[in-house]
Chains A and B, each alone.
Chain A
Amino acid sequence: MIRCSLLAASVLCIGGCMEVEQVSNAQKQAGQTVRRDTNPWSNEPLANGPKWSKGDRTSWEEQIKKRQLAQHEHRRIYE
């Protein structure tokens, strides 16, 4: 009885020393963990700021593009 339990314990101990095989997970990609941010166009525009329709990406992109082009002094002068 004692011999059997000693044998079982030693088998368990040896099992604990085993190395688990590490397999790379092809599905896991960087940048996938954080998913709780919201998009800028989902916000209500400020009362005195640039205007777009809340939730409408296209209108947000249009107004931000207009703002980007304001960095172009030649175009700004001519318009």
Chain B
Amino acid sequence: MARMKFLCDAERCIECNGCVTACKNENEVPWGVNRRRVVTINDGVIGAEKSISVACMHCSDAPCMAVCPVDCFYKTADGVVLHDKDLCIGCGYCFYACPFGAPQFPQAGAFGLRGKMDKCTFCAGGPEEDKSEAEFKKYGRNRLAEGKLPACAEMCSTKALLGGDGDVIADIYRERVARRGSKGAEAWGWGSAYGQPPKGAAPAAPAGGKS
């Protein structure tokens, strides 16, 4: 059984925002809502700048699903976390629960009134009839029903953003890492995330170039 996931290779992402643009265009995402965005850290620091493309990660144990008071979330057979906008009350609980900031809320009128939640659908539409106008208007394009992968991953020029079955894309990434000579421990951010640098040592930023 496929479990659809995204994986972004920070060594390859060049912060072109092609994924963001592809998503916006493919799903006609309204003004003020970004289902996907590119996050850059150490911006401008030579050798230490890294970017990563972030959207809904379609968690296996999704916290948004757990906190929703109207239970508008559901998971498809291929592991995509979707929601029903007809049930959503725009309370924002999912926004607080999500560790990736994926749920977005359009401004639905004056005085900052919050509309129904919008998020990445893995280009899988929603509960409306597949490929119908109602589905497109509410959730965007249903590319999975057309046998395609999400537009963001397919448009990525450096193939930094991989989308698909978790096992398949993990294999691609693993082989890629082995080919470029990184064995894991020297991967950027690994030391700072999984081990403390020795006392007095410089922060875990690479000395230059690719780590």
A residues with a Cβ closer than 8 A to B are: 30-40, 42-43, 45-46, 49-52, 57, 60-61, 63-65, 67-69, 71-74
Question: Are the CB atoms of B2 and A61 closer together than 8 Å?
Answer: yes
Question: Are the CB atoms of B147 and A49 closer together than 8 Å?
Answer: yes
**Would you give the 0/1 interface string for B119-155, flagging 1 where the beta carbon is closer than 8 Å to chain A?**
0000010110111000000000010111111000100
Question: Are the CB atoms of B72 and A34 closer together than 8 Å?
Answer: yes
B175 touches which of A45, A65, A74 (Cβ 8 Å): A74
**Would you give the 0/1 interface string for B143-175, flagging 1 where the beta carbon is closer than 8 Å to chain A?**
011111100010000010011110011001001
Question: Are the CB atoms of A43 and B145 closer together than 8 Å?
Answer: yes
How far, in angstroms, from A30 to B93 measured CA to CA in the complex?
14
Question: Are the CB atoms of A69 and B142 closer together than 8 Å?
Answer: no
Q: Given the complex, which residues of A lie within 8 Å of B179, measured CB to CB?
A: 74
B residues with a Cβ closer than 8 A to A are: 2, 62, 65-66, 68, 70-78, 82-84, 87, 124, 126-127, 129-131, 142, 144-149, 153, 159, 162-165, 168-169, 172, 175-176, 179
Question: Are the CB atoms of B176 and A38 closer together than 8 Å?
Answer: no
Best-surrounded residue of A32, A37, A43 (most CB of chain B within 10 A): A37
Q: Given the complex, which residues of B lie within 8 Å of A46, measured CB to CB?
A: 146-147
B148 touches which of A39, A50, A69 (Cβ 8 Å): A50
Given A34-B87, A49-B148, 17 extra CB contacts under 8 A: A30-B66, A31-B73, A31-B75, A32-B71, A34-B72, A36-B127, A38-B129, A40-B124, A40-B142, A43-B145, A50-B146, A50-B147, A64-B149, A67-B164, A71-B172, A72-B172, A74-B179
Shortest CB distance A26–B (Å): 15
Question: Are the CB atoms of A39 and B168 closer together than 8 Å?
Answer: no
